[in-house]
Amino acid sequence: MNDVKNTTKVPHLPTDIPFNGEQKQWLGGFLAGLHTRLLVKEEGVNNQQTATAVALKPLTIIYGSQTGNAQAVADDAQEMAKEHGLTVNVIDMDDANLQDLAKCERLLVVTSTYGEGEMPDNAQALWDDISSDGAPSFENSYYSVLALGDTNYDGFCTAGILWDERLQALGAQRIADRVDCDVDFEEPANQWINEALATIAQKGSSASGEQVSASQKKPVKSKFNRQNPLSAELITKKPLTQPNSSKETFHYEFSLEESGETYEAGDALNVVSTNRETLVNDLLALFNTSGEIVEPYKGESLTLKDIFTNILEIRTPSKDLIAELALRSGDEKLTSLVNDTNKEALNDFLWGKDTTDLLRLYPQAQFSVAEFIALSKPLAARAYSISSSIKHHKQQVHLTVANVRYKQNDREHHGVCSTFLADKAVVGDKINCFFSPNKSFSVPDNSNAPMIMVGPGTGIAPFRAFLEERVATKAEGDNWLFFGDRNSETDFLYQEEIETMQSTGLLTRLDLAFSRDQSEKIYVQDRMLENAKELFAWLERGAYFFICGDAYRMAKDVDKALHKIIEQQGGLSSQASQEYVNQLKKQKRYVRDVY
Ligand code: NAP
């Protein structure tokens, strides 16, 4: 192999030249620098020659991503692959052709799981293809799968598991075990990348006639992340709901000054919070211990107060903790709920209960503090859809957050991050946070394309950002907003702004659904159905359809309404309307940001 080493030498200066010592030293340095530059240039030429002489092995990485994390991991793998002599194409599953994919000798799959075990939106069409009877053989492919998920949801990492099983069934050879990652995915994902790249680089031939589409341009990566968050000053905090409302939603503004950070409308901001003092004290009391007691945690000795306040998720019980509770308590009901494959009954039972509630319910389970720590998950940052456009609010990022508060079993319950921001954070505080890009949930590149936005409650957040973006970029496409909340008097979030957007014509259409203004509930999907003809006409002329907000009921019901509208207005069978929706998804014209 042509190994070009750096053989830079300081040029030799004749002793009889007419310069004094200092001048000679300077000149020596100058010439050395020049020589180095020339060498670097030569090396560049040699390296290029080496690159063409020793062909890099092609590697294809496909990703299925709902919120941008899987795409970010795929991008990281691409960067690291160069060190292994691999040349990489990162492909959105929606842009991947199955027949071409089957020709790839080296294939890595990175996919998240959406909702309760579903494929992410950009993965559904390719998954339908590969899971069909007519799928091609993958027996010439080496592969590995990285699955992203959240153990708090049913169907943890299901999408990745299905891809792994299917590729193996089609004859592909697994070169590294699948890794299933929980929300703190960075470390295991990096380990998987290292192992998978090192192993796959040893497999297969050097060049293969793979026809893979070119990688997209990558945005500049932020230097801030979970381990190294940005400290952003909270500059504005105000309620969006009226004091007599049945709920509380707040608006927050953070300064990005001097951080050099930027984001796109549609991205999310992850806020790093701490656990509430009363919750920490409840737990300490339950274990009959003091916050000053020191316990080992990942090689460090930390006080329990620190561990419970800053490090562990102590509000939502982990799946491992619940399973161990069932085992140790011997409680028949809990055991049967945990063992039931249908998780609905367990979810109903857990609804509204926090870790302290559960530990109190089964005192016979008896955990030591160390056991409890081992069974708990790290406190994850909470992701919120950004509600501002940086083009409109220079060096700022805004959030729209609904506060979670309720009383159950005689205990007040408080959402970790929403009430950290509402009750603890004050203007002037520095809040730790970092961005998550969401490239598919963004304002259409075509500024003339119509947008239909369905965002009840806090689902309004990214659409405020989209609309601000459209003003800032002078985009001329039509905009239709469906917004709803409980009561018009108290819960019309951003009312003034939205009404101004309507009166200036930025909002071509605005349809409101205040569910509790009348005895019968009226929801955003009812407004969609009332306007079915026009909505379908918008889709037919290329409109993008966006949903943001509650995943459990709202997003599913809005999806049903959309299918119904396409079926009825397009005169299509239910299968044909499904195909219509699949095409919208494939064209990135039907995108969801739901939680
Ligand atoms: P919300 O209060 O749950 O609901 C907003 C509106 O949607 C209400 O009018 C509600 O009506 C209606 N709705 C209820 N079921 C519906 C359905 N099946 N289809 C259509 N509309 C329906 O909304 P939110 O203020 O956005 O709160 C949502 C939840 O998401 C909160 O519990 C919050 O913790 C969580 N969350 C929020 C954020 C954030 O704040 N950015 C982030 C992550 C998670 P009714 O209530 O009258 O039935």
550 lines ligand 1 (CB under 6 A): yes
pLDDT for 21 equals 46
| Other CB atoms within 10 Å distance of the CB of residue 411 | 17
Ligand 1 pocket test target in 550, 557, 564 with most atoms within 8 Å of CB: 550
Sequence letter at residue 249: T
| Percent above pLDDT 90 for the chain | 75
For ligand 1, atom 14, name the residue with the nearest CA: 554
Distance 550 CA to ligand 1 centre (A): 5
pLDDT for 344 equals 85
Distance 354 CA to ligand 1 centre (A): 20
For ligand 1, atom 29, name the residue with the nearest CA: 550
Q: Which ligand 1 atom minimizes the distance to the CA of 461?
A: 41
517 lines ligand 1 (CB under 6 A): no
The mean predicted confidence, pLDDT, of the chain is 88
Whether residue 94 has pLDDT greater than 90: no
306 lines ligand 1 (CB under 6 A): no
Q: Which residue has the higher pLDDT, 69 or 137?
A: 137
pTM: 0.81
Contacts of range 234-240, beta carbons closer than 8 Å, 24 or more positions apart:
234/425, 234/426, 234/427, 234/428, 234/429, 234/430, 234/431, 235/396, 235/427, 236/427, 237/421, 237/425, 237/426, 237/427, 240/400, 240/493, 240/494
Let me know if 292 is exposed, middle or buried by CB neighbors in 10 A (0-12, 13-18, 19+). Answer: exposed
For 319, 355, 357, the CA distances from 368, given in Å and listed in that order, are 18, 15, 17
Sequence letter at residue 206: S
CB within 8 Å of 446: residues ≥ 6 apart: 477, 542
- Block residue for tokens 């509380």: 248
Distance 455 CA to ligand 1 centre (A): 10
484 lines ligand 1 (CB under 6 A): yes
Helix H or strand E encompassing 180: strand 179-181
For ligand 1, atom 34, name the residue with the nearest CA: 404
43 lines ligand 1 (CB under 6 A): no
For ligand 1, atom 4, name the residue with the nearest CA: 457
Report CA 288 to chain centroid distance, whole Å: 38
Structure tokens at 485: 């909340």
Which strand ranges, in their side-by-side order, compose the sheet holding 509-514? 509-514, 479-485, 451-454, 544-549, 590-594
Whether residue 210 has pLDDT greater than 70: no
* From 112-126, 184-198, 475-489, 548-562, the region with the lowest mean pLDDT: 112-126
pLDDT tens, 424-435? 999 999 999 999
Distance 74 CA to ligand 1 centre (A): 32
Distance 356 CA to ligand 1 centre (A): 25
**Beta strand pairing call for 230-239 and 294-297:** unpaired
The confidence band for 222, taking pLDDT boundaries of 50, 70 and 90, is: confident
pLDDT tens, 404-417? 999 997 899 999 99
pLDDT for 89 equals 92
pLDDT tens, 450-466? 999 999 999 999 999 99
Distance 191 CA to ligand 1 centre (A): 38
For 25, 27, 487, 594, the CA distances from 19, given in Å and listed in that order, are 9, 9, 86, 73
pLDDT for 595 equals 84
Nearest Cα residue to 188 out of 435, 460, 339, 378: 378
For ligand 1, atom 37, name the residue with the nearest CA: 402
402 lines ligand 1 (CB under 6 A): yes
d(CA 282, CA 292): 15
d(CA 501, CA 392): 14
Sequence letter at residue 345: A
d(CA 321, CA 327): 10
CB within 8 Å of 424: residues ≥ 6 apart: 274, 276
Q: Which ligand 1 atom minimizes the distance to the CA of 400?
A: 41
Identify any residues that bridge with 434 across adjacent strands, giving them in sequence order: 270
| Other CB atoms within 10 Å distance of the CB of residue 438 | 25
Distance 79 CA to ligand 1 centre (A): 39
For ligand 1, atom 15, name the residue with the nearest CA: 554
The confidence band for 16, taking pLDDT boundaries of 50, 70 and 90, is: very low
Distance 275 CA to ligand 1 centre (A): 23
Intra-chain end-to-end CA distance of the chain, in Å: 52
pLDDT for 294 equals 97
Distance 458 CA to ligand 1 centre (A): 7
